[in-house]
Amino acid sequence: MRFSQVDSGRGCILACSACLDRVQSLPDHMPPIRASQASHHDVGDAVLRGEEMKWLSEDFKNLRAIYCHQLRVMLSAEELIVRALPNMVVRATDEQLRQAFQSHLQETEVHVQRLEQILGEHKRADHSVISTGPEKCKAMTALVAETDDLIIDARDAWVRDAGLIAAAQRVEHYEIASYGTMRQWARVLGENTAAELLDKTLQEEGHADHLLSSIAERINPYAKAA
Ligand SMILES: [Fe+2]
């Protein structure tokens, strides 16, 4: 099999002749790609899907390492939500929904601060920790992109509100799953202060989710009649 180097936009990747044919049929604006342990077919497929892959593989040697990584991923997720919510406030029509998004924006800013606090203390306690900055959350990036599409595609106000609630609840459920896991990991690791902070955030995410469910019960019939 013949292999060739392909400029992926962020570096070169190796592609076999089959992958190369497909990759070279893409437009000039090729999405960035990061390759790690993936096979060349995986890399070629990722280019075609417009996805990013990792240049370098992580090596999570223990629970603490993957816990720290997950904290950084959630820091990225929360920062993405802080940037997305103002537009959701503006595009929501129902006043209660606008207020729910607005108050959750303020809560989310606190969620960012809590994660920064936990990561900061983690670095102070363990000098081998190099970075405590956000690690791009691919899932939240996709969820926010879907929300942006929905805002454009749902022109009726009730339908858009129903869709915004659905989008926000997908975000909440992702966060609830992530914070539930991180709280449990923090407890196992003896990080009691972190576990309490993560629990506070988890409770607030759950409350936001329940509030959205109650607003949806009122709004959905209007969206149905639109
Ligand atoms: Fe949050």
Residues 209, 19: Cα–Cα separation, whole Å: 43
User: Helix, strand or coil for residue 7?
Assistant: strand
Residues 113, 167: Cα–Cα separation, whole Å: 24
Q: What is the pLDDT of residue 56?
A: 61
Cα of 119 to ligand 1 centre, how many Å?
Answer: 16
Cα of 172 to ligand 1 centre, how many Å?
Answer: 7
Cα of 159 to ligand 1 centre, how many Å?
Answer: 25
**Cross-strand bridge partners of residue 53:** none
pTM for the model stands at 0.77
**18-73: per-residue pLDDT in tens?**
555 555 554 444 444 444 444 545 555 655 565 666 656 677 889 999 999 999 99
Mean pLDDT in the chain?
85
| Mean local confidence (pLDDT), 72-83 | 98
The dihedrals phi and psi of 7, each to the nearest 5 degrees, come to -75, 115
Residues 93, 173: Cα–Cα separation, whole Å: 23
Residues 141, 139: Cα–Cα separation, whole Å: 5
Cα of 160 to ligand 1 centre, how many Å?
Answer: 22
Cα of 107 to ligand 1 centre, how many Å?
Answer: 7
Query: Where does residue 90 rank: exposed (0-12), middle (13-18), buried (19+ CB within 10 A)?
Result: exposed
R_g (Cα) of the chain, nearest Å: 21
Q: What is the pLDDT of residue 29?
A: 45
Residue type, 117: Q
Most confident residue range from 51-55, 116-120, 125-129: 116-120
Residues 10, 216: Cα–Cα separation, whole Å: 43
Cα of 201 to ligand 1 centre, how many Å?
Answer: 7
Residue 52: which residues within 8 A CB-CB, separation 6 or more? 31, 32, 33, 34, 46, 138
Cα of 120 to ligand 1 centre, how many Å?
Answer: 18
To which H or E segment does residue 93 belong?
Answer: none
**148-165: per-residue pLDDT in tens?**
999 999 999 999 999 999
Token pair recorded at residue 119:
């990561």
**Domains of the chain, each with CATH number or no CATH:** 1-57 (no CATH), 63-225 (1.20.1260.10)
Neighbouring CB atoms inside 10 A of 173's CB total 14
Residues 168, 98: Cα–Cα separation, whole Å: 12
Neighbouring CB atoms inside 10 A of 18's CB total 13
Residues 123, 111: Cα–Cα separation, whole Å: 18
Q: In Å, how far are 58, 66, 138 from 145, measured between CA atoms?
A: 26, 26, 11
